A and B are shown apart, each in its own frame.
Chain A
Amino acid sequence: MEFLTQMLGADVARMVVGLIAIIALVSVNALFLIWMERKVAAHMQLRPGPMEVGWHGAVQTVADAVKLMGKELITPTDVDRPVYHLAPIVIFLPVLLSFLVIPFSQTLIIRDMNVGVLLILAFASLTVLAILMAGWASNNKYSVLGAIRSVAQTVAYEIPLLITLMSPILMVGSFSLADIVAAQERYWFVLTQPLAFILYIVCATAETNRAPFDLPEAESELVAGFHTEYSGMKFGLFFLAEYTNMFIVSALATIFFLGGWRGPFLPGIFWFLIKVYAIIFLLMWFRWTFPRVRFDQLITFAWKILIPLAFANLLITALIMKLR
Protein backbone atom coordinates (compact mmCIF):
# COMPACT_ATOMS: atom_id res chain seq x y z
CA MET A 1 0.00 0.00 0.00
CA GLU A 2 2.80 2.38 0.96
CA PHE A 3 4.70 1.52 -2.18
CA LEU A 4 1.64 2.00 -4.37
CA THR A 5 0.87 5.33 -2.72
CA GLN A 6 4.37 6.61 -3.33
CA MET A 7 4.46 5.41 -6.91
CA LEU A 8 1.03 6.50 -8.08
CA GLY A 9 -0.07 9.13 -5.62
CA ALA A 10 -2.76 8.59 -3.00
CA ASP A 11 -5.70 9.17 -5.28
CA VAL A 12 -4.71 6.76 -8.04
CA ALA A 13 -3.59 4.14 -5.51
CA ARG A 14 -7.03 4.33 -3.89
CA MET A 15 -8.63 3.78 -7.31
CA VAL A 16 -6.43 0.79 -8.16
CA VAL A 17 -6.96 -0.94 -4.83
CA GLY A 18 -10.65 -0.11 -5.00
CA LEU A 19 -11.07 -1.57 -8.47
CA ILE A 20 -9.30 -4.78 -7.50
CA ALA A 21 -11.52 -5.06 -4.43
CA ILE A 22 -14.59 -4.41 -6.60
CA ILE A 23 -13.68 -7.12 -9.10
CA ALA A 24 -13.17 -9.56 -6.23
CA LEU A 25 -16.50 -8.54 -4.68
CA VAL A 26 -18.32 -8.84 -8.00
CA SER A 27 -17.10 -12.37 -8.65
CA VAL A 28 -17.67 -13.65 -5.12
CA ASN A 29 -21.06 -11.94 -5.00
CA ALA A 30 -22.16 -13.53 -8.28
CA LEU A 31 -20.99 -16.98 -7.16
CA PHE A 32 -22.85 -16.58 -3.88
CA LEU A 33 -26.00 -15.14 -5.44
CA ILE A 34 -26.35 -17.94 -7.99
CA TRP A 35 -26.06 -20.49 -5.22
CA MET A 36 -28.51 -18.50 -3.07
CA GLU A 37 -30.97 -18.19 -5.95
CA ARG A 38 -30.93 -21.93 -6.54
CA LYS A 39 -31.32 -22.64 -2.83
CA VAL A 40 -34.18 -20.18 -2.40
CA ALA A 41 -35.93 -21.51 -5.49
CA ALA A 42 -35.48 -25.07 -4.32
CA HIS A 43 -36.75 -24.50 -0.81
CA MET A 44 -39.83 -22.70 -2.09
CA GLN A 45 -40.57 -25.81 -4.14
CA LEU A 46 -39.79 -28.19 -1.25
CA ARG A 47 -36.57 -29.38 -2.88
CA PRO A 48 -33.08 -29.29 -1.36
CA GLY A 49 -31.38 -27.68 -4.38
CA PRO A 50 -27.68 -28.30 -5.10
CA MET A 51 -26.32 -30.67 -2.46
CA GLU A 52 -23.37 -32.53 -3.96
CA VAL A 53 -20.39 -30.17 -4.40
CA GLY A 54 -19.21 -28.84 -1.07
CA TRP A 55 -21.31 -28.18 2.02
CA HIS A 56 -24.93 -28.09 0.80
CA GLY A 57 -23.64 -27.48 -2.73
CA ALA A 58 -21.81 -24.30 -1.75
CA VAL A 59 -19.02 -24.86 -4.29
CA GLN A 60 -21.45 -25.83 -7.06
CA THR A 61 -21.26 -22.39 -8.71
CA VAL A 62 -17.46 -22.49 -8.64
CA ALA A 63 -17.61 -25.79 -10.51
CA ASP A 64 -20.10 -24.26 -12.97
CA ALA A 65 -17.85 -21.23 -13.48
CA VAL A 66 -14.86 -23.46 -14.20
CA LYS A 67 -16.95 -25.36 -16.74
CA LEU A 68 -18.07 -22.08 -18.30
CA MET A 69 -14.49 -20.83 -18.65
CA GLY A 70 -13.43 -24.07 -20.25
CA LYS A 71 -16.05 -23.81 -22.97
CA GLU A 72 -15.41 -22.79 -26.53
CA LEU A 73 -16.34 -19.24 -27.54
CA ILE A 74 -18.52 -19.83 -30.55
CA THR A 75 -19.05 -16.94 -32.95
CA PRO A 76 -21.94 -17.68 -35.31
CA THR A 77 -21.23 -16.96 -38.99
CA ASP A 78 -23.60 -14.13 -39.69
CA VAL A 79 -23.13 -11.99 -36.59
CA ASP A 80 -22.07 -8.36 -36.73
CA ARG A 81 -18.60 -9.10 -35.39
CA PRO A 82 -17.34 -5.91 -33.71
CA VAL A 83 -20.65 -5.23 -32.01
CA TYR A 84 -21.10 -8.88 -31.07
CA HIS A 85 -17.72 -8.98 -29.36
CA LEU A 86 -18.17 -5.59 -27.71
CA ALA A 87 -21.56 -6.19 -26.13
CA PRO A 88 -20.41 -8.35 -23.16
CA ILE A 89 -17.77 -5.76 -22.30
CA VAL A 90 -20.22 -2.88 -22.58
CA ILE A 91 -22.64 -4.63 -20.25
CA PHE A 92 -19.97 -5.48 -17.70
CA LEU A 93 -17.94 -2.26 -17.49
CA PRO A 94 -20.63 0.15 -16.19
CA VAL A 95 -21.58 -2.45 -13.61
CA LEU A 96 -18.04 -2.31 -12.25
CA LEU A 97 -17.92 1.48 -12.30
CA SER A 98 -21.16 1.84 -10.35
CA PHE A 99 -19.36 0.48 -7.29
CA LEU A 100 -17.10 3.55 -7.21
CA VAL A 101 -19.62 5.65 -5.32
CA ILE A 102 -21.38 3.09 -3.13
CA PRO A 103 -20.62 3.67 0.58
CA PHE A 104 -20.11 0.22 2.11
CA SER A 105 -19.45 1.80 5.49
CA GLN A 106 -18.59 5.20 6.86
CA THR A 107 -15.05 5.04 5.53
CA LEU A 108 -15.26 2.23 3.00
CA ILE A 109 -16.12 4.19 -0.11
CA ILE A 110 -13.81 4.53 -3.06
CA ARG A 111 -14.84 8.02 -4.02
CA ASP A 112 -17.64 10.10 -2.57
CA MET A 113 -18.95 12.14 -5.50
CA ASN A 114 -21.58 14.81 -5.18
CA VAL A 115 -23.39 13.26 -8.18
CA GLY A 116 -23.20 9.66 -6.92
CA VAL A 117 -26.83 8.79 -7.61
CA LEU A 118 -26.74 10.26 -11.10
CA LEU A 119 -23.54 8.34 -11.86
CA ILE A 120 -25.09 4.99 -10.89
CA LEU A 121 -28.31 5.66 -12.79
CA ALA A 122 -26.42 6.84 -15.86
CA PHE A 123 -24.27 3.73 -15.87
CA ALA A 124 -27.33 1.58 -15.25
CA SER A 125 -28.93 2.88 -18.42
CA LEU A 126 -25.84 1.83 -20.40
CA THR A 127 -27.01 -1.73 -19.78
CA VAL A 128 -29.85 -1.10 -22.23
CA LEU A 129 -27.36 -0.19 -24.91
CA ALA A 130 -25.39 -3.37 -24.30
CA ILE A 131 -28.52 -5.51 -24.46
CA LEU A 132 -29.59 -3.85 -27.69
CA MET A 133 -26.10 -4.37 -29.12
CA ALA A 134 -26.10 -8.03 -28.14
CA GLY A 135 -29.59 -8.63 -29.49
CA TRP A 136 -29.04 -6.83 -32.76
CA ALA A 137 -25.56 -8.17 -33.48
CA SER A 138 -26.54 -11.78 -32.86
CA ASN A 139 -28.59 -11.81 -36.06
CA ASN A 140 -31.17 -14.02 -34.44
CA LYS A 141 -34.90 -13.39 -34.20
CA TYR A 142 -35.12 -14.40 -30.56
CA SER A 143 -32.23 -12.13 -29.63
CA VAL A 144 -33.74 -9.16 -31.46
CA LEU A 145 -37.13 -9.71 -29.87
CA GLY A 146 -35.53 -9.96 -26.44
CA ALA A 147 -33.55 -6.79 -27.04
CA ILE A 148 -36.61 -4.87 -28.25
CA ARG A 149 -38.59 -5.90 -25.22
CA SER A 150 -35.71 -5.06 -22.93
CA VAL A 151 -35.29 -1.56 -24.33
CA ALA A 152 -39.01 -0.77 -24.16
CA GLN A 153 -39.17 -2.08 -20.62
CA THR A 154 -36.07 -0.39 -19.29
CA VAL A 155 -36.95 2.96 -20.85
CA ALA A 156 -40.44 2.75 -19.38
CA TYR A 157 -39.27 1.80 -15.91
CA GLU A 158 -36.34 4.19 -15.65
CA ILE A 159 -38.71 7.16 -15.44
CA PRO A 160 -40.57 6.07 -12.28
CA LEU A 161 -37.26 4.88 -10.84
CA LEU A 162 -35.71 8.33 -11.16
CA ILE A 163 -38.82 10.16 -9.97
CA THR A 164 -39.12 7.81 -6.99
CA LEU A 165 -35.54 8.41 -5.95
CA MET A 166 -36.10 12.17 -6.24
CA SER A 167 -38.27 12.18 -3.09
CA PRO A 168 -35.51 11.08 -0.66
CA ILE A 169 -33.08 13.31 -2.54
CA LEU A 170 -35.42 16.25 -1.94
CA MET A 171 -35.48 15.40 1.76
CA VAL A 172 -31.68 15.29 1.96
CA GLY A 173 -30.84 17.95 -0.56
CA SER A 174 -27.83 16.12 -1.97
CA PHE A 175 -27.01 13.62 -4.72
CA SER A 176 -24.13 12.16 -2.74
CA LEU A 177 -24.85 8.68 -1.41
CA ALA A 178 -22.78 9.28 1.73
CA ASP A 179 -24.89 12.34 2.53
CA ILE A 180 -28.07 10.36 2.05
CA VAL A 181 -26.89 7.74 4.54
CA ALA A 182 -25.78 10.48 6.92
CA ALA A 183 -29.25 12.05 6.79
CA GLN A 184 -30.83 8.83 8.08
CA GLU A 185 -29.21 9.08 11.47
CA ARG A 186 -32.45 9.29 13.43
CA TYR A 187 -34.83 7.21 11.31
CA TRP A 188 -34.77 5.25 8.07
CA PHE A 189 -36.44 6.81 5.06
CA VAL A 190 -38.57 3.71 4.58
CA LEU A 191 -40.65 5.05 7.49
CA THR A 192 -41.33 8.42 5.92
CA GLN A 193 -41.36 7.23 2.29
CA PRO A 194 -43.02 3.79 2.33
CA LEU A 195 -44.68 4.32 -1.07
CA ALA A 196 -41.39 5.38 -2.62
CA PHE A 197 -39.76 2.25 -1.22
CA ILE A 198 -42.40 -0.04 -2.75
CA LEU A 199 -42.26 1.79 -6.09
CA TYR A 200 -38.48 1.62 -6.08
CA ILE A 201 -38.45 -2.15 -5.42
CA VAL A 202 -40.91 -2.70 -8.30
CA CYS A 203 -38.88 -0.55 -10.69
CA ALA A 204 -35.64 -2.18 -9.56
CA THR A 205 -37.07 -5.63 -10.32
CA ALA A 206 -37.97 -4.41 -13.79
CA GLU A 207 -34.61 -2.69 -14.28
CA THR A 208 -32.70 -5.87 -13.52
CA ASN A 209 -34.94 -7.82 -15.93
CA ARG A 210 -35.99 -10.26 -13.26
CA ALA A 211 -39.24 -12.15 -12.95
CA PRO A 212 -42.07 -11.16 -13.07
CA PHE A 213 -40.58 -8.62 -15.52
CA ASP A 214 -38.23 -11.06 -17.24
CA LEU A 215 -39.69 -10.65 -20.70
CA PRO A 216 -36.31 -9.87 -22.34
CA GLU A 217 -35.04 -13.35 -21.60
CA ALA A 218 -38.31 -15.23 -21.17
CA GLU A 219 -37.04 -18.80 -21.37
CA SER A 220 -40.35 -20.26 -22.42
CA GLU A 221 -40.79 -17.83 -25.32
CA LEU A 222 -37.40 -16.58 -26.52
CA VAL A 223 -34.92 -19.40 -25.72
CA ALA A 224 -32.67 -17.06 -23.72
CA GLY A 225 -33.49 -13.65 -25.19
CA PHE A 226 -30.63 -11.35 -26.08
CA HIS A 227 -27.83 -13.73 -25.02
CA THR A 228 -29.09 -16.73 -27.00
CA GLU A 229 -26.08 -16.73 -29.32
CA TYR A 230 -23.41 -16.24 -26.67
CA SER A 231 -21.41 -19.10 -25.23
CA GLY A 232 -18.66 -19.67 -22.72
CA MET A 233 -17.35 -16.74 -20.75
CA LYS A 234 -19.15 -14.19 -22.94
CA PHE A 235 -22.39 -15.62 -21.69
CA GLY A 236 -20.70 -15.67 -18.28
CA LEU A 237 -20.18 -11.91 -18.43
CA PHE A 238 -23.88 -11.33 -19.11
CA PHE A 239 -24.71 -13.58 -16.21
CA LEU A 240 -22.20 -11.81 -13.95
CA ALA A 241 -23.58 -8.42 -14.95
CA GLU A 242 -27.14 -9.54 -14.23
CA TYR A 243 -26.34 -10.66 -10.71
CA THR A 244 -24.12 -7.66 -10.02
CA ASN A 245 -26.95 -5.39 -11.17
CA MET A 246 -29.11 -7.08 -8.57
CA PHE A 247 -26.51 -6.20 -5.97
CA ILE A 248 -26.35 -2.58 -7.14
CA VAL A 249 -30.11 -1.95 -7.10
CA SER A 250 -30.34 -3.60 -3.69
CA ALA A 251 -27.45 -1.48 -2.45
CA LEU A 252 -29.27 1.63 -3.69
CA ALA A 253 -32.44 0.53 -1.89
CA THR A 254 -30.39 0.02 1.26
CA ILE A 255 -28.74 3.41 0.99
CA PHE A 256 -31.89 5.32 0.16
CA PHE A 257 -34.47 3.65 2.39
CA LEU A 258 -32.85 1.35 4.95
CA GLY A 259 -30.20 3.59 6.44
CA GLY A 260 -27.20 2.22 4.53
CA TRP A 261 -24.46 0.96 6.83
CA ARG A 262 -26.16 2.22 9.99
CA GLY A 263 -26.96 -0.33 12.68
CA PRO A 264 -26.07 -1.21 16.26
CA PHE A 265 -23.22 -3.44 17.56
CA LEU A 266 -21.82 -4.75 14.24
CA PRO A 267 -19.42 -2.75 12.05
CA GLY A 268 -21.06 -0.82 9.21
CA ILE A 269 -20.00 -3.12 6.38
CA PHE A 270 -21.84 -6.06 7.97
CA TRP A 271 -25.04 -4.11 8.38
CA PHE A 272 -24.77 -2.93 4.80
CA LEU A 273 -24.32 -6.45 3.43
CA ILE A 274 -27.07 -7.89 5.64
CA LYS A 275 -29.54 -5.30 4.36
CA VAL A 276 -28.44 -5.72 0.75
CA TYR A 277 -28.85 -9.49 0.85
CA ALA A 278 -32.21 -9.12 2.57
CA ILE A 279 -33.41 -7.00 -0.38
CA ILE A 280 -31.92 -9.52 -2.81
CA PHE A 281 -33.83 -12.25 -0.99
CA LEU A 282 -36.96 -10.17 -1.52
CA LEU A 283 -36.23 -10.00 -5.27
CA MET A 284 -35.72 -13.77 -5.38
CA TRP A 285 -38.92 -14.23 -3.42
CA PHE A 286 -40.70 -12.19 -6.12
CA ARG A 287 -39.21 -14.33 -8.85
CA TRP A 288 -40.47 -17.59 -7.40
CA THR A 289 -43.90 -16.22 -6.54
CA PHE A 290 -45.17 -14.18 -9.47
CA PRO A 291 -45.80 -15.37 -13.02
CA ARG A 292 -44.41 -13.34 -15.91
CA VAL A 293 -46.53 -10.32 -16.89
CA ARG A 294 -47.83 -9.87 -20.41
CA PHE A 295 -46.18 -7.14 -22.46
CA ASP A 296 -49.22 -4.82 -22.50
CA GLN A 297 -49.61 -5.32 -18.74
CA LEU A 298 -45.97 -4.42 -18.30
CA ILE A 299 -46.19 -1.12 -20.16
CA THR A 300 -49.63 -0.25 -18.75
CA PHE A 301 -48.33 -0.86 -15.25
CA ALA A 302 -45.40 1.50 -15.77
CA TRP A 303 -47.28 4.37 -17.43
CA LYS A 304 -50.65 4.19 -15.69
CA ILE A 305 -49.71 3.22 -12.16
CA LEU A 306 -46.02 3.64 -11.35
CA ILE A 307 -45.40 7.02 -12.98
CA PRO A 308 -48.53 8.79 -11.61
CA LEU A 309 -47.90 7.38 -8.14
CA ALA A 310 -44.24 8.39 -8.26
CA PHE A 311 -45.20 11.91 -9.35
CA ALA A 312 -47.82 12.17 -6.62
CA ASN A 313 -45.28 11.02 -4.06
CA LEU A 314 -42.74 13.55 -5.30
CA LEU A 315 -45.29 16.38 -5.23
CA ILE A 316 -46.43 15.58 -1.71
CA THR A 317 -42.85 15.34 -0.50
CA ALA A 318 -41.99 18.67 -2.11
CA LEU A 319 -45.07 20.26 -0.54
CA ILE A 320 -44.21 19.01 2.93
CA MET A 321 -40.58 20.08 2.56
CA LYS A 322 -41.74 23.53 1.48
CA LEU A 323 -44.26 23.96 4.28
CA ARG A 324 -41.93 22.80 7.03
Chain B
Amino acid sequence: MINYFKEILVGFWSLLAGMAVTIRYFTKPIVTVQYPRQKLTMSPRYRGHTEFVIDEETRTHRCIACEMCNRICPSQLISLQGVKVDAKKKLPSRYIIAYQYCSLCGLCVEVCPTKALKWSDEYLLCGFTREDSEIDLLRRLQDQQYAKGWPLTPIPRPKPEEPAPAKGEEVKE
Protein backbone atom coordinates (compact mmCIF):
# COMPACT_ATOMS: atom_id res chain seq x y z
CA MET B 1 0.00 0.00 0.00
CA ILE B 2 2.79 2.42 0.89
CA ASN B 3 4.59 1.39 -2.25
CA TYR B 4 1.51 2.18 -4.30
CA PHE B 5 1.37 5.79 -3.09
CA LYS B 6 5.13 6.16 -3.22
CA GLU B 7 5.11 5.07 -6.85
CA ILE B 8 2.42 7.61 -7.69
CA LEU B 9 4.24 10.43 -5.93
CA VAL B 10 7.62 9.59 -7.43
CA GLY B 11 6.06 9.28 -10.88
CA PHE B 12 4.25 12.59 -10.48
CA TRP B 13 7.45 14.26 -9.35
CA SER B 14 9.36 12.93 -12.38
CA LEU B 15 6.63 14.29 -14.67
CA LEU B 16 7.00 17.71 -13.06
CA ALA B 17 10.78 17.53 -13.46
CA GLY B 18 10.31 16.81 -17.17
CA MET B 19 7.94 19.74 -17.53
CA ALA B 20 10.45 22.00 -15.81
CA VAL B 21 13.01 21.10 -18.45
CA THR B 22 10.73 21.89 -21.37
CA ILE B 23 9.51 25.17 -19.94
CA ARG B 24 13.11 26.19 -19.39
CA TYR B 25 13.81 25.52 -23.05
CA PHE B 26 10.60 27.33 -23.98
CA THR B 27 11.96 30.55 -22.52
CA LYS B 28 15.46 30.18 -24.01
CA PRO B 29 16.35 32.21 -27.10
CA ILE B 30 15.96 30.53 -30.48
CA VAL B 31 19.06 29.09 -32.13
CA THR B 32 17.72 28.77 -35.67
CA VAL B 33 19.17 31.22 -38.20
CA GLN B 34 16.67 32.46 -40.81
CA TYR B 35 19.13 31.75 -43.59
CA PRO B 36 18.71 34.12 -46.51
CA ARG B 37 18.14 37.06 -44.18
CA GLN B 38 20.54 36.15 -41.39
CA LYS B 39 23.94 34.56 -41.82
CA LEU B 40 26.34 32.95 -39.41
CA THR B 41 29.89 34.21 -39.10
CA MET B 42 32.08 31.25 -39.96
CA SER B 43 34.49 29.97 -37.36
CA PRO B 44 38.17 30.85 -37.94
CA ARG B 45 38.96 27.15 -38.43
CA TYR B 46 36.49 26.84 -41.32
CA ARG B 47 38.14 25.63 -44.54
CA GLY B 48 36.67 27.17 -47.64
CA HIS B 49 38.70 27.33 -50.82
CA THR B 50 42.05 29.08 -50.66
CA GLU B 51 42.41 32.79 -51.24
CA PHE B 52 45.23 35.33 -51.17
CA VAL B 53 46.25 36.92 -47.92
CA ILE B 54 46.00 40.69 -48.26
CA ASP B 55 49.14 42.25 -46.78
CA GLU B 56 48.13 45.14 -44.54
CA GLU B 57 51.19 47.20 -45.49
CA THR B 58 51.32 46.79 -49.24
CA ARG B 59 47.57 46.28 -49.57
CA THR B 60 48.10 43.53 -52.10
CA HIS B 61 48.95 39.83 -52.22
CA ARG B 62 52.36 38.29 -51.50
CA CYS B 63 52.41 35.70 -54.29
CA ILE B 64 55.67 35.45 -56.21
CA ALA B 65 54.43 32.86 -58.71
CA CYS B 66 57.03 30.32 -57.62
CA GLU B 67 54.60 27.51 -58.49
CA MET B 68 55.33 25.52 -55.33
CA CYS B 69 51.63 25.16 -54.68
CA ASN B 70 51.05 24.04 -58.22
CA ARG B 71 53.66 21.30 -57.88
CA ILE B 72 52.61 19.98 -54.50
CA CYS B 73 48.88 19.89 -55.22
CA PRO B 74 47.87 16.21 -55.28
CA SER B 75 44.95 16.92 -57.57
CA GLN B 76 46.87 19.24 -59.88
CA LEU B 77 44.03 21.70 -59.81
CA ILE B 78 45.93 24.99 -59.62
CA SER B 79 46.61 26.63 -62.92
CA LEU B 80 49.17 29.28 -62.29
CA GLN B 81 51.10 31.50 -64.64
CA GLY B 82 53.76 33.98 -63.66
CA VAL B 83 55.09 37.01 -65.46
CA LYS B 84 58.45 38.69 -64.91
CA VAL B 85 57.61 42.33 -64.28
CA ASP B 86 61.28 43.33 -63.94
CA ALA B 87 64.66 41.64 -63.57
CA LYS B 88 64.00 40.36 -60.04
CA LYS B 89 60.26 40.30 -59.50
CA LYS B 90 57.77 37.76 -60.75
CA LEU B 91 54.03 38.11 -60.29
CA PRO B 92 51.10 35.81 -61.05
CA SER B 93 49.13 36.72 -64.13
CA ARG B 94 46.69 33.88 -63.67
CA TYR B 95 45.81 31.89 -60.57
CA ILE B 96 42.72 29.73 -61.02
CA ILE B 97 41.79 26.79 -58.82
CA ALA B 98 39.42 24.11 -60.10
CA TYR B 99 37.71 23.83 -56.75
CA GLN B 100 35.55 20.85 -57.68
CA TYR B 101 38.67 18.65 -57.46
CA CYS B 102 39.99 20.11 -54.23
CA SER B 103 40.23 17.79 -51.22
CA LEU B 104 41.10 20.65 -48.84
CA CYS B 105 44.37 18.91 -47.85
CA GLY B 106 46.03 22.25 -47.23
CA LEU B 107 49.40 21.40 -48.75
CA CYS B 108 49.39 24.54 -50.89
CA VAL B 109 48.85 26.72 -47.83
CA GLU B 110 51.64 24.97 -45.96
CA VAL B 111 54.19 24.96 -48.73
CA CYS B 112 53.86 28.60 -49.73
CA PRO B 113 57.23 30.30 -48.98
CA THR B 114 55.70 33.77 -48.61
CA LYS B 115 52.56 32.61 -46.74
CA ALA B 116 50.46 34.14 -49.45
CA LEU B 117 47.56 31.70 -49.17
CA LYS B 118 44.93 31.20 -46.49
CA TRP B 119 41.56 29.50 -46.13
CA SER B 120 38.58 31.68 -47.02
CA ASP B 121 35.27 31.52 -45.16
CA GLU B 122 33.34 31.19 -48.39
CA TYR B 123 30.46 28.70 -48.15
CA LEU B 124 28.10 29.90 -50.88
CA LEU B 125 29.36 27.52 -53.51
CA CYS B 126 26.35 26.64 -55.61
CA GLY B 127 26.50 27.09 -59.35
CA PHE B 128 24.90 25.86 -62.53
CA THR B 129 27.93 24.63 -64.44
CA ARG B 130 31.22 22.96 -63.63
CA GLU B 131 32.96 26.18 -64.60
CA ASP B 132 31.17 27.98 -61.75
CA SER B 133 33.39 26.17 -59.28
CA GLU B 134 36.59 27.43 -60.88
CA ILE B 135 37.76 30.30 -58.76
CA ASP B 136 40.00 33.08 -60.01
CA LEU B 137 41.97 34.18 -56.97
CA LEU B 138 43.31 37.36 -58.60
CA ARG B 139 39.81 38.55 -59.43
CA ARG B 140 38.66 37.62 -55.94
CA LEU B 141 41.50 39.67 -54.51
CA GLN B 142 40.44 42.65 -56.59
CA ASP B 143 36.87 42.29 -55.37
CA GLN B 144 38.03 42.27 -51.77
CA GLN B 145 40.24 45.31 -52.35
CA TYR B 146 37.34 47.10 -54.01
CA ALA B 147 35.09 46.32 -51.06
CA LYS B 148 37.64 47.87 -48.70
CA GLY B 149 38.18 50.86 -50.95
CA TRP B 150 41.83 50.01 -51.54
CA PRO B 151 43.62 50.35 -54.89
CA LEU B 152 43.18 47.29 -57.05
CA THR B 153 46.19 45.14 -57.88
CA PRO B 154 46.51 45.15 -61.66
CA ILE B 155 46.69 41.71 -63.25
CA PRO B 156 49.90 41.68 -65.32
CA ARG B 157 49.58 40.34 -68.83
CA PRO B 158 51.94 37.63 -70.05
CA LYS B 159 54.10 38.58 -73.02
CA PRO B 160 52.66 37.43 -76.29
CA GLU B 161 54.15 34.06 -77.11
CA GLU B 162 56.92 33.93 -79.67
CA PRO B 163 55.53 33.13 -83.06
CA ALA B 164 55.72 29.46 -83.91
CA PRO B 165 58.39 28.52 -86.38
CA ALA B 166 57.31 28.67 -89.96
CA LYS B 167 55.78 25.50 -91.29
CA GLY B 168 57.99 25.09 -94.23
CA GLU B 169 61.04 24.52 -92.08
CA GLU B 170 59.38 21.96 -89.85
CA VAL B 171 58.32 19.57 -92.52
CA LYS B 172 61.80 18.54 -93.49
CA GLU B 173 62.23 14.83 -93.26
Contact = CB atoms under 8 A, between A and B. Distances in A.
Per DSSP, chain B at the interface is helix
Contacts of A286: 19
Interface residues on A, range: 10 to 19
Nearest to B33: A48
Contacts of A44: 22, 25-26
Which one of B8, B26, B32 has the highest number of Cβ atoms from chain A below 10 Å of its Cβ? B26
B18 A47 contact: no
A290 B25 contact: no
Contact of B30 (A40, A48, A289, A305): A48
A288 interface: yes
B18 A290 contact: yes
B22 A285 contact: yes
A66 interface: no
A47 B30 contact: yes
Contacts of B15: 289-290
A289 B19 contact: yes
Contacts of A43: 25-26, 30
Contacts of A47: 30-32
Contact of B23 (A45, A51, A285): A285
Contacts of B25: 43-46
Contacts of A290: 15, 18
A47 to B, nearest CB: 5
Interface in B6-58: 8, 15, 18-19, 21-23, 25-26, 28-32, 34
Interface string A285-316: 11011100000000000000100010000000
Contacts of A305: 8
A312 to B, nearest CB: 11
Interface string A27-51: 0000000000000100111111001
Contacts of B32: 46-48
B161 to A, nearest CB: 57
A138 to B, nearest CB: 34
A289 B34 contact: no
Nearest to A287: B22
Contacts of B22: 44, 285, 288-289
A285 B30 CA distance: 17
Interface of A: 40, 43-48, 51, 285-286, 288-290, 305, 309
- The 6 A-B residue pairs whose C-beta atoms are closest, nearest first, are A289-B22, A46-B31, A289-B18, A44-B26, A47-B32, A48-B30
